[in-house]
């Protein structure tokens, strides 16, 4: 059992010659958030010290076989490499690929990624932000000068004089006309012209699509000390925890069960259900003192190996009995 644990640990820490466990999952999570899919190719090695090798592959290159019969020896997926035809696709069995779908649906084999949900909102925000940037940089005309009863020649001559002598020089222009020119203003020149409220609303919609509170996207207007911690916990429960549980389930079922064949193991993330370290530690100490848990059980909860017939603290009898 310990040898298998060490083999699984090495397999995850060194999934291939280039990646670590973090860089491998980062690629998968990025594809899952942007496209709704993430793919990891698995290959058994036959080595007891490293039972499998893992590679992150482009989820957009994966095609799902709609007529898969559920048999382990028939292809479930096909990978179409860039520049190749669909007829040259590489077939992959169910035990050769981990295909992660965000928000799976029954009418399509593809998932629904948060970026796809927020696509229109992101597009509207970029347009509003681009317009506000041009307006703030004075690259958008905000007013016009109206001269009454001016001939086209006088109009053109005034434009050339303004561009050559006045514009960008900081000089005070002097106009000598029979009637006072009138300024037609297109905008008021205030923050309302920048559409700041509209941009804030779009940011909230983008945060909602990704399951995050607006606080994490820079909106701090409705945040105080009593709500900041709660919003951080909400972000963890609404955005991080579901994706972590999804990845853990795929690693347990597809990697440990189908590829390696060790179904007695389960992949879990430490501290996924409790983010408050002090509260978690206090609960574990109380359960340890009450004899509900043993030292080895607490060590297992914290991702540590068991102690062999060693006693620490008030749980001496329970530890020895284990």
Q: Is the pLDDT of residue 70 over 80?
A: yes
Mean pLDDT of all residues in 18-42: 93
Q: Is the pLDDT of residue 316 over 60?
A: no
Read off the pLDDT of residues 159-217 as tens digits, 9 standing for 90 and up: 888 888 877 777 788 777 777 777 777 666 666 666 778 778 888 888 888 888 877 77
Position 21 confidence tier, pLDDT thresholds 50, 70, 90: very high
Q: Confirm whether pTM is higher than 0.75.
A: no
* Residue % of the chain over a pLDDT of 90: 27
Q: Is the pLDDT of residue 108 over 70?
A: yes
Read off the pLDDT of residues 231-283 as tens digits, 9 standing for 90 and up: 777 777 888 888 999 999 999 999 999 999 999 999 988 767 655 677 778 88
Q: Is the pLDDT of residue 318 over 50?
A: no
What distance, in Å, lies between the first and last C-alpha atoms of the chain?
18
Q: What pLDDT sits at residue 236? A: 79
Position 12 confidence tier, pLDDT thresholds 50, 70, 90: very high
């Amino acid at each position: 059992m310990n040898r298998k644990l060490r083999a699984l640990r090495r397999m995850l820490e060194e999934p291939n010659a280039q990646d670590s466990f973090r860089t491998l999952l980062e690629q998968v999570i990025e594809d899952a958030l942007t496209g709704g899919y993430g793919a990891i190719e698995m290959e058994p090695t036959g080595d007891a010290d490293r039972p499998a090798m893992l590679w992150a592959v482009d989820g957009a290159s994966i095609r799902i076989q709609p007529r898969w019969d559920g048999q382990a020896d028939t292809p479930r997926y096909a990978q179409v490499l860039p520049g190749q035809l669909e007829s040259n696709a590489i077939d992959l069995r169910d035990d050769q690929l981990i295909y992660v779908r965000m928000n799976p649906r029954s009418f399509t084999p593809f998932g629904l990624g948060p970026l796809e949900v927020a696509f229109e909102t992101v597009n509207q925000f970029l347009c509003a932000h681009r317009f506000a940037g041009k307006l703030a940089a004075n690259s958008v005309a905000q007013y016009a000068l109206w001269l009454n009863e001016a001939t086209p020649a006088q109009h053109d001559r005034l434009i050339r004089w303004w561009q050559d002598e006045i514009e960008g020089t900081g000089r005070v222009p002097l106009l000598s006309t029979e009637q006072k020119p009138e300024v037609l203003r297109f905008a008021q020149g205030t923050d309302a012209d920048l559409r700041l409220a509209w941009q804030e609303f779009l940011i909230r919609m983008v945060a909602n699509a990704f399951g995050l509170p607006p606080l994490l996207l820079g909106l701090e207007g409705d945040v105080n000390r009593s709500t900041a911690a709660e919003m951080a916990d909400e972000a963890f429960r609404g955005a991080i925890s579901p994706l972590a549980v999804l990845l853990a389930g795929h690693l347990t079922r597809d990697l440990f069960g189908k590829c390696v064949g060790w179904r007695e193991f389960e992949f879990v993330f430490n501290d996924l259900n409790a983010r408050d370290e002090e509260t978690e530690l206090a609960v574990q100490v109380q359960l340890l003192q009450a004899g509900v848990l043993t030292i080895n059980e607490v060590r297992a909860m914290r991702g540590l190996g068991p102690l062999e017939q060693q006693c620490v603290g008030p749980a001496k009898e329970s530890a020895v009995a284990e």
